[in-house]
Structure formats: C-alpha cells, structure tokens
Amino acid sequence: MVAAFLTALFFALSGVTGQKVAFRLGAQWGNFIRLVIAVVVLGGVTWSLFPESLHAKTFTWFFLSGLIGFGLGDVALFAAYSRLGSRLTILLTLCLAPVFALIIEWLWLGSHPTARVMVCVATILAGVGLAILLGSGKRTHRERIGSFPLGVVAALIAGFGQGAGAVVSRKAEAVAGTFGVEIHGVSAAFQRVFAGVVVALLTVVALRFFGKQRLMIPTWAAHRKVTGWMLGAALFGPAVGVSCFQWALKSQESGVVLAVVALTPVVMMPMSAVTEGDRPGLWAVIGALLAVGGVVALYLWV
C-alpha cells in the first residue's frame, strides 16, 4: 500500500513540476526535453539491469502504446498545463482516462459495461463537469496563458491518450504472456517513453519550421533557471512514479493500486496552491472529490 501512495505522490509532483516547465519553456519544447531526460534514464537502467526484457515480439505493441500515451497524450497534456494549470489538467486527464479506456475496450475488445460501470462513469463525468464549469478557479496571468476552452480540449485528448495507451499496453502484456516473455516495468516504460520522444520531436520540428507562429527555442539561461523543475518533471512521472507503480502492482491487487493512484488530483490540490497560487473554491473541491470517488468506485466496486 505504501508503494501505491508513493505513486500518487510522485504523479502529483510530476504534474506541478511539469506545469512549471510548460509555462517557462513552452509546452512542446518543455515536453520534448522532459521526455529526452526520462528516456535516457530509463534506457540506462533497462540496458544495465533488464536487457533480457527487450523483445522484438512485444516492442511493436509497447511502442504503439507509447505513441498514443506518451506521444499524443503528453503533447496534449503539456498544452493543457499552461492553459488550465496542473490541478485541473491532472483532474481531467486522470479521471477521464479510465472512461476512455472502457469505451475503447468496449469497441475494440467487445467488453460490455455493466450498470455499476455506468453509474461510476456518470459520477466521474458529473464531478469533472462541476470542476470545469463552476470550479475552474481564478486564472492568473503569472501561471496560465492561452485559451481556457482549448486547454480543456487538450486535457480531453490527454485523457484519451492515457486511456488508449493503457489498453494497448495491456495488449502488449498479453502478447508477452503468449510468448512466455517477462517484461520488467522499467523496460516497458522505456519502450513507451521512447515512442513519446519520437512524437515530441516531430511536433517540435513541425512547429519550428511549418507553424504559423514559429516555435522559439528557449535560451540556455532559460533552461538553467528551470533545471530543478525539469528534473522533477522528467523523473517523478516516467521514472520514479512508474517504478513505484510497478512495485505496487506486485504487492497489491491492481484494483486497489489503481484506486489509490486515482487520488492524485486530490493530493495535488495543496501542491498547486503553493506552486501556482491556484486555490480551489468549494465547487472545485466538490467536483474533484466526486470525480475521484467515481474512479475509486470503478476500480473497487465494479
């Protein structure tokens, strides 16, 4: 259980540090540098300690999962950070990801949602709706720039990316089981983050050379000013957070672990209040608790 709570803590820290990076270096450049650092760390650990867990038979599925989750998902995630702030971005992304995963499994794998599932989904959507419509909080120029509605769309895309990436990742684990291959969690994270780096690089190139407003590369001095935030964004989520998540799954039932990890948006509230001055109002708190409660029930009750 300690590992599950540590996962929620590190994911929350990843959110607040990622928001700082997105705001100060630009969403897409900050996301690219963050993923490069993460893939170097994860790659070094994988090649040093778990080289046997890299297999051609499963790499395609993990890579596809990464294209969707760390690629599409994180590009949208960082676009949302600068527009919504970390609290609302993580709430929408983490709470809607399981909803998208259920829809994808229904359409792709033919699973049929039960009445309990539908109640949980309705609860999640009601909580998210309250948080968006009545509890978005005060937008301060210091920590949020860009269109709020566009930020909501970006967070929805990020939630879809994470949900779809999780479904494909489970498919990858099933394929590994078919071939009798054991994939270590760090290795799986490395393969997925590697795909994310590819997408992030293509996004940066496209915005730099073909965008209507050319992407400006921050100066070296600007990078040095956010070194601590950047290391936090790179390590807390893809590296340390994922490692704790895999540790938790080995010691607890997956439903219990996922339910605890779903508390991340609640854990983030005091953090974002300190780092961004984002102090949620009553409706924001009610909406967050309702949405998170729906996710917890989805994993424990269904």
3-state secondary structure the chain: CHHHHHHHHHHHHHHHHHHHHHHHHCHHHHHHHHHHHHHHHHHHHHHHHCHHHCCHHHHHHHHHHHHHHHHHHHHHHHHHHHHHCHHHHHHHHHHHHHHHHHHHHHHHHCCCCCHHHHHHHHHHHHHHHHHHHCCCCCCCCCCCCCCHHHHHHHHHHHHHHHHHHHHHHHHHHHHHHHCCCCCCHHHHHHHHHHHHHHHHHHHHHHHHHCCCCCCCCCCHHHHHHCHHHHHHHHHHHHHHHHHHHHHHHHHCCHHHHHHHHCCHHHHHHHHHHHHHCCCCCHHHHHHHHHHHHHHHHHHHCC
Q: What CA–CA distance (Å, rounded) separates 215 from 137?
A: 29
Q: What CA–CA distance (Å, rounded) separates 52 from 46?
A: 9
Ranking 63-67, 187-191, 208-212, 235-239 by mean pLDDT, the lowest is 208-212
Tell me what the mean pLDDT of segment 137-153 comes to: 71
Number of other CB atoms surrounding residue 109 within 10 Å: 10
pLDDT, tens digit (0-9, with 9 covering 90-100), for 87-113: 999 999 989 988 998 888 888 877 777
The two three-digit tokens of residue 142, written as one number: 């210091």
Enter the pTM of the model. Answer: 0.88
Q: What CA–CA distance (Å, rounded) separates 177 from 185?
A: 14
pLDDT of residue 42: 92
> Across the chain, which distance is largest between two alpha carbons, in Å?
55
pLDDT band of residue 214 (cuts 50, 70, 90) is confident
Sign of CA pseudo-dihedral 49, 254, 160, 91: negative
pLDDT band of residue 137 (cuts 50, 70, 90) is low
The 3-class SS string of 207-257 reads HHHCCCCCCCCCCHHHHHHCHHHHHHHHHHHHHHHHHHHHHHHHHCCHHHH
Domain boundaries, the chain: 2-98+141-271
pLDDT of residue 281: 84
pLDDT band of residue 143 (cuts 50, 70, 90) is low
